[in-house]
C-alpha cells in the first residue's frame, strides 16, 4: 500500500514550514519571518510510531489575492489538498482568527477530507481566550502546538495516525505484480501501456507532460494479475516550470517506490541521457526490479551490428544496472511488446526467489576458497555464515568478525558469485554486513 499523504496548509507566515521541518527532522523548507517564502510545494518523508508517510509543505493560501505569485501558490496548495489523505490546517494563536482563515476553512470543509485544526505559536502553558474562538471555524476541536518548541507535536501526530487509511494490504494486493512505467516525458509510456492493454486506456499526445498523474490500470493475463502505473514524465528540475507538473514528479517517484518492477523507457533516437540515469538510479536505490525498454526501435536504421552495439552502449551508460534486462520495442507498431509480460514474470520470479541457508553457505564457502577475504594490519575478515532475510529485492545478511574489514569490492565479489549460481537477472541484491557477537 502506498504511503499516506499529509498536507500542511494555511495562510502565509503561520509556521507551516517550521512544523514541516520539525516533523521531517531536518531543515528542508526555507523558514523566514515574512510571508510567501514557500512558493512551491516541498515534500519529504515523515515517520511516527513506525508509520511512514509523505508530507507536503505548501505555499501560504490567500484566497482572494489577485497577485500572480500568490495565485500560483494557491493553485499548488489546492493540488496538495486534493491528493492528501489528511490535512493539517495551521492558524496563528497570536493573531487569532483572520478573514483569510475563515475563507480557507470554508474551502477545506468542501473537500470532505479529514482535517485537523492546529493552533500554532501556543507557546505558553495557559491558552489565551482567543484560542476558543477557533471553534467557530467549524473544523472540530483545535489542537494547540508550538512548532518552534516542538510542544505537543507527539499528540498531534497521534491524531494524524488515527486518520490515515488502514495500512494492511489484502491478499489480492500482495499477489498482484505492480509495474511502474517510468522515463522522461514523451518517450512513449502511455503508448506502451495502451499497446499492452490493446485499447486506449490513457491519453497519448506528442506534447510532453500530457500525463499529469500516475494512472493505475489492472489487467489479468493467463491467470496472473498485474497493476500497471503510467507515470507522468520526469524532467530535470530546472525544466519543470508549470505548477501542476511539479507535483507530478512526486507522484512519479511515489509510483516507483510502491512498484515491484519498473519499465525504464529509453528513446532509441536520443539514447541514454543524464535524466535517464537519474531516474534509473532512483529505481535502483529503491531496490526495484528493472527492465530497460528501448522504444522507437523501428525508427533506427540498422545493420548486422546495430543491436549488439546499442546494447553495449546501454550497459556502459547504465553500468550500475548491469543486472537489468533489455528489450527493444516499438510501442507504435507493437514490435516485441508481447515479450514484456514474459520478462516481467521472469524478473518477478527472480526477485522473489529464496535460497536455503545450507545451499547459500555452500556457495559462499566455495567463493571464499577461490578468493580469500581481505585483511588489514594482520587481521583478516572472517565470514561466519550468510542467510537470506527478504525478497523484492533479495536481501542477505553476512555475519562477520569485523564490519570494517568487509570492503565494498569483496562484497561485490560475493554478489557476483551469487549471480553466477542463481537467477537474479533483473533485480538488485542487497548484502548487509553484521558483526557476530560472542
Picking from 25, 174, 4, the residue whose alpha carbon sits closest to that of residue 85 is 4
Question: What range does the domain containing 411 cover?
Answer: 357-435
Confidence class of residue 308 from pLDDT cuts 50, 70 and 90?
very high
pLDDT tens-digit profile of 233-291? 555 555 544 444 444 455 567 778 878 999 999 999 999 988 889 889 989 999 999 99
CA dist., res. 145 & res. 150, Å (int): 7
Indicate whether 159 and 187 sit together in one domain. no
Based on the fold, state whether residues 119 and 77 are members of the same structural domain.
Answer: yes
Indicate if 175 and 255 belong to the same structural domain: yes
**320 and 203 together in one domain:** yes
User: How confident is residue 21, by pLDDT bands cut at 50, 70 and 90?
Assistant: confident
Phi first, then psi: give them for residue 209, nearest 5 degrees. Answer: 90, 15
Residues 354, 359, 364: CA angle, nearest 5 degrees: 105
Considering the domain architecture, whether residues 83 and 101 belong to the same structural domain is answered as: yes
Asked if residue 152 and residue 126 are part of one domain, the reply reads: yes
205 lies in the same domain as 340: yes
Cell 505555499, residue located: 59
Where do runs of H (alpha helix) occur along 258-356? 274-285, 306-317, 338-351
Count the Cβ atoms, other than its own, within 10 Å of residue 391: 13
Number of domains in the chain: 3
Cβ neighbors of 161 (< 8 A, separation 6 or more) are: 48, 49, 51
37 with 73, same domain: the answer is: yes
Give mean pLDDT, residues 303-308: 91
- Nearest Cα neighbor of 217 from 181, 252, 250, 185 is 181
Residues 419 and 300 in one domain: no
| Torsion of the alpha carbons at 434, 284, 6 and 184, rounded to the nearest 10 | 170
Average pLDDT over residues 218-226: 81
Q: Where are the alpha helices (DSSP H) in 144-214?
A: 153-163, 171-175, 189-197
Sign of the C-alpha dihedral, residues 240, 244, 247, 248?
negative
Domain end position, chosen among 351, 368, 385 = 351
> What's the rounded Cα separation, in Å, for the pair 106 and 115?
12
Q: CA 264, CA 406: separation in Å to the nearest integer?
A: 32
- Distance (Å, whole) CA 146 – CA 15: 9
Q: What is the CA radius of gyration of the chain?
A: 26
- Strand positions, DSSP E, 36-176: 42-48, 51-57, 86-92, 115-120, 143-144
The CATH code of the domain that includes 410 is 3.30.300.20
**pLDDT value of position 417:** 95
Q: What is the C-alpha separation between 274 and 280, in angstroms, rounded?
A: 10
Strand extents, DSSP E, 36-122? 42-48, 51-57, 86-92, 115-120
Based on the domain organization, do 232 and 131 belong to the same domain?
Answer: no
Same domain for 248 and 146: no
Domain boundary pick from 334, 351, 368: 351
175 and 157 fall within a common domain: no
> If we measure between CA atoms, which residue out of 9, 58, 6, 53 comes closest to residue 29?
58
CATH code of the domain in which 208 resides: 3.40.50.300
Q: What pLDDT was estimated at residue 47?
A: 87
Q: Which of 163, 196, 219 is the last residue of a domain?
A: 163
H or E segment at 361? helix 357-370
Q: What is the mean pLDDT of the chain?
A: 81
pLDDT band at 214 (very low <50, low <70, confident <90, very high): very low
Q: How do residues 374-407 score in pLDDT, each as one tens digit?
A: 988 889 999 999 999 999 999 999 999 998 998 9
More reliable by pLDDT, 411 or 217: 411
Taking CA atoms, 56 is separated from 67, 88, 107, in Å, by 23, 10, 18
Amino acid at each position: 500500500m502506498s504511503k499516506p499523504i499529509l498536507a500542511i496548509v494555511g495562510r502565509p507566515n503561520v509556521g507551516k514550514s517550521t512544523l514541516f521541518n520539525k516533523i521531517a527532522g531536518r531543515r528542508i523548507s526555507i523558514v523566514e519571518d515574512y510571508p510567501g517564502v514557500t512558493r512551491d510545494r516541498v515534500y519529504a518523508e515523515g515517520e511516527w510510531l513506525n508509520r511512514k508517510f509523505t508530507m507536503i509543505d505548501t505555499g501560504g493560501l490567500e484566497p482572494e489575492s489577485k497577485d500572480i505569485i500568490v495565485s500560483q501558490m494557491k493553485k499548488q496548495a489546492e493540488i496538495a489538498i486534493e491528493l492528501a489523505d489528511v490535512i493539517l490546517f495551521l492558524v496563528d494563536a497570536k493573531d487569532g482568527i483572520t478573514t483569510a482563515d475563515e475563507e480557507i476553512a470554508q474551502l477545506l470543509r468542501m473537500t470532505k477530507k479529514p482535517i485537523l485544526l492546529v493552533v500554532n505559536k501556543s507557546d505558553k502553558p495557559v491558552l489565551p481566550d482567543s484560542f476558543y474562538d477557533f471553534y467557530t471555524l467549524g473544523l472540530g476541536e483545535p489542537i494547540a502546538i508550538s512548532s518552534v518548541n516542538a510542544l505537543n507535536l507527539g499528540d498531534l501526530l497521534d491524531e494524524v495516525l488515527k486518520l490515515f487509511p488502514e495500512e494492511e494490504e489484502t491478499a489480492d494486493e500482495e499477489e498482484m505484480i505492480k509495474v511502474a512505467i517510468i522515463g522522461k516525458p514523451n518517450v512513449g509510456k502511455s503508448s506502451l501501456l495502451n499497446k499492452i492493454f490493446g485499447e486506449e486506456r490513457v491519453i497519448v499526445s506528442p506534447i510532453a507532460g500530457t500525463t499529469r498523474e500516475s494512472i493505475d490500470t489492472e489487467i489479468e493475463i493467463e491467470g496472473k494479475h498485474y497493476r500497471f502505473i503510467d507515470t507522468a514524465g520526469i524532467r530535470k528540475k530546472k525544466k519543470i516550470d508549470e505548477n501542476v507538473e511539479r507535483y507530478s514528479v512526486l507522484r512519479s517517484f511515489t509510483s516507483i517506490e510502491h512498484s515491484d518492477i519498473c519499465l525504464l523507457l529509453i528513446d532509441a533516437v536520443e539514447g541514454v541521457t543524464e535524466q535517464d540515469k537519474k531516474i534509473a538510479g532512483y529505481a535502483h536505490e529503491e531496490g526495484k526490479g528493472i527492465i530497460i525498454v528501448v522504444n522507437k526501435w523501428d525508427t533506427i536504421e540498422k545493420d548486422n551490428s546495430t543491436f549488439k552495439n546499442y546494447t553495449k552502449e546501454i550497459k556502459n551508460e547504465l553500468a550500475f544496472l548491469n543486472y537489468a534486462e533489455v528489450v527493444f520495442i516499438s510501442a507504435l507498431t507493437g514490435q516485441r511488446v508481447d515479450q514484456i509480460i514474459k520478462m516481467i514474470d521472469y524478473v518477478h520470479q527472480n526477485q522473489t526467489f529464496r535460497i536455503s541457508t545450507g545451499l547459500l553457505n555452500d556457495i559462499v564457502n566455495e567463493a571464499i576458497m577461490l578468493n580469500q577475504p581481505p585483511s588489514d594490519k594482520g587481521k583478516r575478515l572472517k565470514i561466519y555464515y550468510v542467510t537470506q532475510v527478504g525478497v523484492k529485492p533479495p536481501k542477505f545478511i553476512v555475519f562477520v568478525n569485523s564490519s570494517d574489514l568487509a570492503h565494498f569490492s569483496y562484497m561485490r565479489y560475493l554478489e557476483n558469485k551469487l549471480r553466477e549460481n542463481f537467477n537474479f537477472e533483473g533485480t538488485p541484491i542487497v548484502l548487509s554486513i553484521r558483526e557476530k557477537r560472542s
